[in-house]
Structures are given as structure tokens and as C-alpha cells.
């Protein structure tokens, strides 16, 4: 069976890199690929370069989507998803590139494992003249993973367990997403935030039941000084984490809610030490929302609805992330009368 893939490439002010990215897509050794280029109304000549590259490969199906005004990366990806026809969807940032066999290698895993919800490979990280696979969240080795992981509980553990070095990277790129899986559960990117990948991952974790792993590099990521994530301020980053938390309350209805919460707590606390003074109030709001979310989750997990949150704090958590949330909740009850959350 031939499997079709839609590769979505948002374009916004990436003129120096877009040719490299698109050529790497058009020269894939897998043929049944639809390339969707989303024009997010940049101010340079990126889209002109993209059209020029597309004309060189008339045998490939290319769809151009144009926004009326700049709407951001989340909406650009959503716009691409809305017109995609492929069995799987793949996201490529316009300043990165793909190895020539990326899609065919990922699809080998998909075919041999019954078309999983998601298939993920490894990312090679490149900065300047340095090329390495060692760079914070892109440092992964799936050799210890099974080719296919089944069951929502186990997959969620691999997504959010901070104690695991090789947990699934929280990036939207470099993953094949089965189109009917995304459509069935109305999964899309939350607009107007900068940590859209992490929010997308949290939403996916509520429904995913199968994921395939490929222990080969299928994505080359370039770190550019002017990229959004590289240049964003700590204050803006924390404000966006707060928005993600507020939009994640429904996730406690699904499996392992406290694991998701502990993941968010650690994301906040890892950044909290580096925050300038003007961002600390935003961080405190974020922590308060997490504490409230934790209490709701604990209540839902309890066999007795009449137990108070204070009593629940005494429950013995056998898993490390449960203990982590437990400690943070104790801290909250000890200090909430002193700290003034604004």
C-alpha cells in the first residue's frame, strides 16, 4: 500500500534558509509527497525563493497557502493541516532540512507496525559550523526503545518523565502524525503562543495509543540567533507557559494527570531561577495555576470524593513524579498565606 505524506512548511522571513529546506524536501527519495508551503506574510523574499524552487520540481505536488496578514507559526501549521490530503502529516521549519531518506525511513516503521498514530526519528542539531546530536532536548537515543510502543499509559510516561534521558522530544517537527488521528480528536496548535509544540504534545498525549520509533537521524535542526525561541525574553516565555497551563485543565480527565502536571511544574521551575524581576509575578501565577490543577487531579484520582486536599497530601506516592507534585503541594499550603499571588 502506498502511503501519502503531506509536508507542511510555514514561511516567514527566512530567505537565507528556505531554499535549503525546500530542496531537501523536493529531493526526498520517497515520491508520494505533497508539499504545502504556507506564506505567513513576511517582509523579505522568502516566498519568491520558494516559488522559484517549486518550479524546478514540476513532478512534485505543491500547494501554496497565503495568509491575509501575519498570523504566527501555530496558525500557519493549522492552515497547512486544513488543506493536507496525506495519510500522514509532517512539519518542517523553513530554516531546517531533511536527510534525503527521512520520509522513506519513517514510513518503513509505519508500514511494519500497522500505521501508528505517530512515528518519530532522531534530530541532528547544528549550530554554526558545529554538527552534533548532543543538544538539550534533541539529545536522544532510541536504541533502547521498542520499534512500537502501545498503550496510552506507557506512551505518556515516555513523553513526560523528566527522570528519563530518552523521553520523547517535545517538538512538533520530525514526527509523522496520522491525519485521521489528528482529525478525529480535533488536534491543532494553540494560536498566539511561542511554546506551541509543548501544548500540542500535551493535547496529543490525551489520545495517543501507538507510537513508532526510528533510531536514525531524520531531521537536521539549525540553531539561528534570530529564531523565535532563541531570541524570546524570559518574561514572554513565562507568560506563554501560563497560557498553556490554563489551556491544559482538561488533560486531568485523561491518564497520568499528575505526570503531566509535574512536567509543567519542572518546566516553570527550570526557568524560574533565570527570570528577571518583572517576570516573577507571571511565574507565581503559573505556579498557582499548577497547584490548583494538581488539587483537582488528586481529587479526581481519589476513591473517596469526601477526602480533603490536605488529607490527600499524606497519600504515599510510589512514583517519583507523584512525590514531586506532593512536595510542591505541601510547599503551596505552607506558603500560600505568605506569598501574594497577583
Query: pLDDT below 70 — which residues of the chain?
Result: 1, 128-144, 160-167, 224-235, 241-242, 246, 248-342
DSSP structural state of residue 27? T
The phi-psi region of residue 102 (left if phi > 0; otherwise alpha if psi is between -120 and 50; otherwise beta) is alpha
Within 84-212, residue ranges assigned H as helices are 102-112, 152-160, 179-184, 196-205
164 CB-contact burial (10 Å; exposed 0-12 / middle 13-18 / buried 19+): exposed
pLDDT at residue 92 in the model: 97
User: Taking Cα atoms as reference points, which of 307, 295, 281 lies closest to residue 332?
Assistant: 295
Q: Distance between CA 218 and CA 234 in Å, rounded? A: 30
CB neighbours of 136 closer than 8 A, spacing ≥ 6?
A: none
Q: Is the pTM of this model over 0.85?
A: no
Report the number of secondary-structure helices (H) and strands (E) in the chain.
13, 9
Contact at 8 Å (CB) between 249 and 202?
A: no
Q: How many CB atoms lie within 10 A of CB 243?
A: 18
Pairing of strands 130-132, 118-127: antiparallel
Distance in angstroms (rounded) separating the CA atoms of residues 209 and 159: 12
What's the rounded Cα separation, in Å, for the pair 124 and 135? 9
Element (H, E) at 323: helix 320-335
Give the C-alpha distances (Å, rounded to integers) separating 94 from 13, 50, 59.
Answer: 9, 10, 21
Helices (H), 161-276: 179-184, 196-205, 228-231, 234-246, 257-272
List phi, psi (to 5°) of 316.
-75, 115
Relative to beta strand 175-178, strand 118-127 is antiparallel
Beta bridge partners of residue 148, listed in sequence order = 212
Amino acid at each position: 500500500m502506498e502511503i501519502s505524506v503531506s509536508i507542511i512548511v510555514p514561511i516567514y522571513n527566512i530567505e537565507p534558509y528556505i531554499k535549503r529546506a525546500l530542496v531537501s524536501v523536493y529531493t526526498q527519495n520517497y515520491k508520494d509527497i505533497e508539499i504545502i508551503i504556507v506564506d505567513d506574510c513576511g517582509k523579505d523574499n522568502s516566498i519568491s525563493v520558494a516559488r522559484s524552487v517549486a518550479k524546478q520540481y514540476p513532478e512534485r505536488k505543491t500547494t501554496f497557502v497565503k495568509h491575509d496578514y501575519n498570523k504566527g507559526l501555530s496558525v500557519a501549521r493549522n492552515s497547512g493541516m486544513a488543506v493536507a490530503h496525506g495519510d500522514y502529516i509532517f512539519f518542517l521549519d523553513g530554516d531546517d532540512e531533511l536527510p534525503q531518506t527521512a520520509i522513506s525511513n519513517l514510513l518503513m516503521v509505519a508500514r511494519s507496525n500497522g500505521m501508528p498514530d505517530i512515528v518519530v526519528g532522531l534530530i541532528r542539531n547544528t549550530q554554526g559550523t558545529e554538527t552534533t546530536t548532543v543538544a538539550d532536548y534533541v539529545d536522544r537515543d532510541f536504541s533502547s526503545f521498542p520499534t512500537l510502543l502501545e498503550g496510552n499509559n506507557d506512551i505518556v510516561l515516555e513523553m513526560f518523565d523528566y527522570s528519563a534521558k530518552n523521553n520523547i522530544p517535545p517538538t512538533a517537527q520530525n514526527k509523522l502524525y496520522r491525519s485521521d488521528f489528528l482529525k478525529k480528536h480535533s488536534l491543532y496548535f494553540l494560536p498566539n503562543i511561542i511554546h506551541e509544540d509543548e501544548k500540542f504534545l500535551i493535547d496529543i498525549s490525551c489520545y495517543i495509543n501507538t507510537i513508532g520509533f526510528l533510531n536514525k537521524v531524520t531531521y537536521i535542526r539549525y540553531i539561528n540567533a534570530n529564531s523565535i525561541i532563541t531570541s524570546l525574553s524570559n518574561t514572554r516565555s513565562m507568560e506563554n507557559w501560563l497560557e498553556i497551563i490554563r489551556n491544559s485543565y482538561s488533560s486531568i480527565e485523561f491518564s497520568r494527570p499528575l505526570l503531566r502536571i509535574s512536567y509543567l511544574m519542572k518546566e516553570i521551575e527550570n526557568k524560574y531561577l533565570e527570570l528577571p524581576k518583572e517576570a516573577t509575578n507571571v511565574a507565581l501565577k503559573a505556579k498557582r495555576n499548577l497547584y490548583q490543577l494538581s488539587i483537582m487531579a488528586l481529587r479526581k484520582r481519589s476513591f473517596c470524593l469526601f477526602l480533603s486536599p490536605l488529607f490527600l497530601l499524606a497519600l504515599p506516592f510510589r512514583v517519583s513524579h507523584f512525590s514531586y507534585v506532593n512536595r510542591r503541594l505541601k510547599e503551596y499550603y505552607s506558603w500560600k498565606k505568605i506569598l501574594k499571588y497577583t
